[in-house]
Amino acid sequence: MTTVKGRRELAALNDALTLAERGLGRQTMPALMARLLRVAAMFPRAVDDTLMWQVTDLVTGDNVSEGVKLTLIRMGWASIVQAQYKQQGLRMVAAPKHRQAAAA
């Protein structure tokens, strides 16, 4: 079962990828790939290991442009989201109830 932490990490990776796609933020392709691998480890049923190794090789190599690397990382993120959607459907990532009560 997916943890709230895993879902939050997945959402945070989406934010980082969006900033990188827009030319904002300062994360490098290796840093984004490392985040993707951490998120993928949280969703083992959603990711095929061999695919992740191939993507990692491409992202860390010099054979493709930065734009292609970013696209590959985004595709890895999207495959995790799609697998989670098929498994659980859509659910909001909400703050724990004690944080919501403290903010009120």
How does pLDDT run across 25-77, given as a tens digit for each residue? 888 999 998 998 898 888 877 666 667 778 888 888 898 999 999 998 898 88
Confidence of residue 96 (pLDDT cuts 50, 70, 90): low
Q: What's the rounded Cα separation, in Å, for the pair 35 and 88?
A: 22
76 contact partners, CB below 8 Å, separation of at least 6: 36, 40, 47, 51, 52, 55
Q: What's the rounded Cα separation, in Å, for the pair 79 and 34?
A: 16
pLDDT score of 101 more than 80: no
What pLDDT is recorded for position 102?
Answer: 58
**Two structure tokens written together for 59:** 């992202």
Q: Which contiguous run of DSSP H or E holds residue 70?
A: helix 66-88
What pLDDT is recorded for position 51?
Answer: 72
Confidence of residue 13 (pLDDT cuts 50, 70, 90): very high
What pLDDT is recorded for position 95?
Answer: 65
What pLDDT is recorded for position 32?
Answer: 93
Domain parsing of the chain, residue ranges: 4-103
Predicted structure pTM score: 0.59
